[in-house]
Amino acid sequence: MPEDFGTPATAVLERDGLRVHTFTAPATVLANSTHVLETPSALVVVDGQFIAPHAAAFRRYVDALGKPIARMYLSHAHVDHWFGIAAAFADVDVWAAEATIAALRRDGEAERAARAAQYGPLVPSQVVVPRHVAEPGVDTVDGVKHEIEVVTGAECDAQLLITLPDHGVTVAQDLVYSGTHVYLTRRMDRSLALLESLAGSASDVFLAGHGPVADRAELRRNADYLGYARDRLTGVSDPHAYRDALVAAFPDRACPQLLDICVPSLFADSAAPGTGHTEHGHIEHGHTEHGE
């Protein structure tokens, strides 16, 4: 296992008194993106990175801003989003959808232990279950309005969607993949409908769960990807051929290991329509491996 997993990239977007910080891991570690919404007196943090070193670096970045964390949101119950909270933000109050909290209580330790057996100290030593339910509705932090929705039946059973309507910013996380391959389930029609809804919204900045900040053009590219993936799946029986076809069709998109994680479940006997979920959590060690 290599000692160096690279240095995350940072980007800052200024918009009407709001500073949006995006902290993105290297593509070898799924290009996970976590975000900070900075206002004059407070911070809102979204997700915590995947591996412990990047989570620690993200916490140092957040602390260097010198403002209190008013909210920390866990967008959904995939390990590449909550491991970093357990590793570096265990002292911070966290909000999540009720279904996400239930999933971590039910499965969190088994998921943590399985990855710890694979990746050792890159994985947190504990599970941190969010203490607060993020209820759908409007929340105001430091004078900034946050419209909170809980999206169901897409990539994950429950995902937060947070829109700042006065700033044209939507925190979409894994509802949008920016410049990377897309994590696929048999719920592609649902994901396509959500992308169409986002593209028709008043927002023009979309914070993705993987890759840099996205715009409406990237939403269209996501839709094109999902449409191709859905159509190509029909009548195909070989998961490796399907995965390779996606890589060939979209050669400029990063993180093909996302396909190594999700594609096998599309072909599993148990993957009935509307299901097909494999937990994120694969670290590439200098090459792409099929399967987890």
pLDDT at 289: 35
| Cα 176 from Cα 209, distance rounded (Å) | 7
What's the whole-number mean pLDDT along residues 231-255? 96
| Cα 108 from Cα 223, distance rounded (Å) | 31
Q: Which strands sit side by side in the sheet containing 144-152, from one edge to the other? A: 137-141, 144-152, 158-164, 169-177, 205-210
| Cα 216 from Cα 13, distance rounded (Å) | 16
Helix (H, G, I), strand (E, B) or coil at 229: helix
| Cα 191 from Cα 230, distance rounded (Å) | 11
Banded model confidence at residue 199, pLDDT cuts 50, 70, 90: very high
Q: What is the DSSP string of 72-138?
A: EE--SS-HHHHHHHHHH-TTS--EE-HHHHHHHHHHHHHHHHHHHHHHGGGS-SS----SEE--SEE
Q: Which domains does the chain have, with CATH numbers?
A: 9-267 (3.60.15.10)
Question: Per residue in 134-187, pLDDT tens?
Answer: 999 999 999 999 999 999 999 999 999 999 999 999 999 999 999 999 999 999
pLDDT at 283: 58
pLDDT at 235: 83
Of the listed ranges 43-47, 77-81, 83-87, 268-272, the one predicted with least confidence? 268-272
Residue 284: pLDDT over 90: no
| Cα 16 from Cα 126, distance rounded (Å) | 39
Banded model confidence at residue 192, pLDDT cuts 50, 70, 90: very high
